């Protein structure tokens, strides 16, 4: 099957997710800077989640540059990924409402970890479908960033019950490692 419908659908879902998140930012009732002050945590968590959705969109785009075609399993694997990403607005809102309290921060980390696991599952499905000559298999000879991300997410989930802001720092650290799309994919595209 052609991959263009999967890419278009994914782009649409991710755009809706970003739209839902921005709607959580309420318009201030005052006209001075003090009216904006209560919105700072909401805006920061929105920015953080926006960056995460952007990272997934950007890396999804790069991932499907090396995929030749899709099948039903890849479609379901992609939906699985989109499901977990679609929970980011809920997790973001929960953090906002509870000012970065322990359980919401741990839950946010859980959602991020599940997004990461869904990404890994999707790449495994693609590699199985494309077989031993898969360009993605060539690119993903080592997955150190994915494994490091899981370790940091799990650490963040546990630490959230004691020091939620440290957990947020760990989640930011993971985001920083993924902001730049995987250079291995770009190098592979230049070779072919």
pLDDT, one tens digit per residue, over 139-158 is 777 788 888 999 999 999 99
Residue-level pLDDT at 189: 63
Q: Are 66 and 136 in contact (CB under 8 A)?
A: yes
Distance CA 188, CA 192 (A): 7
Can you tell me the distance from the alpha carbon of 80 to that of 117, in angstroms, rounded to the nearest whole number? 10
Residue 86, classed as helix, strand or coil, is: helix
Domain count, the chain: 1
Domain of 32 in residue numbering reads as: 4-191
Global pTM?
0.91
Q: Go through 126-165 and write b for each residue having 16 or more CB atoms within 10 A of its CB, e for each that does not.
A: bbebbeeebbbbbbbeeeeebeebbebbeebbebbeeebe
pLDDT for the residue numbered 55 = 94
C-beta of residue 115 within 8 angstroms of C-beta of residue 54: no
Burial of residue 81 (number of CB atoms within 10 Å: 0-12, 13-18, 19+): buried
Instruction: Confirm if 71 and 108 have CB atoms less than 8 A apart.
Output: no
Residues of the chain with pLDDT under 50: none
Structure tokens belonging to residue 2: 């052609």
- Give just the sign of the alpha carbon dihedral 133, 137, 139, 142: negative
Residues 32 and 55: their CA atoms lie apart, in Å, by 34
Q: Residue 23: phi, psi to the nearest 5?
A: -70, -15
- Residue 30: the pLDDT is 85
């Amino acid at each position: 099957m052609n991959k263009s419908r999967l890419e278009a659908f994914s782009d649409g879902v991710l755009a809706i997710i970003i739209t839902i998140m921005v709607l959580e930012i309420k318009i201030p009732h005052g006209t001075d800077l003090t009216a904006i002050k209560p919105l700072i945590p909401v805006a920061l968590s929105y920015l953080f989640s926006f960056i995460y959705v952007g990272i997934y969109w950007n890396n999804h785009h790069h991932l499907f540059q090396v995929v030749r075609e899709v099948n039903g399993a890849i479609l379901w694997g992609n939906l699985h990924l989109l499901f977990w990403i679609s929970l980011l607005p809920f997790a973001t809102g929960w953090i906002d409402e509870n000012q970065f309290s322990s359980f919401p921060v741990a839950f946010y980390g859980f959602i991020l970890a599940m997004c990461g696991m869904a990404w890994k599952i999707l790449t495994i499905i693609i590699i199985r479908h494309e077989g031993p000559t898969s360009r993605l298999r060539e690119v993903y000879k080592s997955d150190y960033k994915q494994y490091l991300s899981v370790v940091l997410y799990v650490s963040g989930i546990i630490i959230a019950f004691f020091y939620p802001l440290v957990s947020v720092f760990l989640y930011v650290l993971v985001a920083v490692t993924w902001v730049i799309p995987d250079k291995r994919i770009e190098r592979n595209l230049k070779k072919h």
